[in-house]
Amino acid sequence: MAGEIEFTDEPPSEGDAPEMDKLPEGNIADPVAQLEQTFVSVLRVLNIDGNEDSAGAIEGSFEHQSHGIELEDYAQELAFLPDLTEVSVTVLDYSAPNVLNKDLEKLQQAGLIRVLKKHERIMISSGNALPPPAYGSVCDIDVKGHALIKQRARRVPLRHLRKLYELLKGLLKAGLVAFSDSPWASPIVIVLKKNGLDIRLCIDYKLVNANW
């Protein structure tokens, strides 16, 4: 399902990048500052050294093209991360067609809405496939002595670099992701939305899931 990957021959313009004269100041332990420092460093290398040759850049890259395929088609293969470029409160419409059911009696419909409202805090906007984090909870996964699965990061097409940075920044601010030194690692995958411009950030767990 991977589509053809294209790479631009020009590095990102200065208008697309943060201030290049100096790295972010302050406590680098802050995950957002750490992300910004990494992003600025990457852009600095691109502006100094230029792009890699196209043959070397394509190797190891992975991008799903839209081609009319719905995002739900990937639900069993990829873990979708919510788009939080701007942190906002989800407003739920309890009169929407996907809530109202003509087959339910009036009391049953009212009961359904009560249940939805009771659990409103765990719901997020349409199109996001992951629920909010369960803060304070610990999840232990018994890998039954399986060897580590540590996949290398795949190259990100340069035209998506700025959008990827904004997505990661929103997720870090919301506390949905964190920097990790885990010996286990799965690569990210960029999925293009229907308009062919916007992206959705996913994690490819196929190799992990294939072993359990």
Q: Can you give the pLDDT at residue 74?
A: 52
> Does the predicted TM-score (pTM) go above 0.75?
no
Across-strand partners of 190? 63, 201
For the domain spanning 147-211, the CATH number is 3.10.10.10
**Residue spans per domain, the chain:** 84-129, 147-211
Q: Phi and psi dihedrals of 95, rounded to 5?
A: -105, 10
Tokens found for residue 155: 């190259």
Q: What is the mean pLDDT of each run of 10 residues along the chain (212 residues)?
A: 35 43 51 83 67 45 46 54 56 82 92 88 53 68 87 85 86 81 89 80 86 74
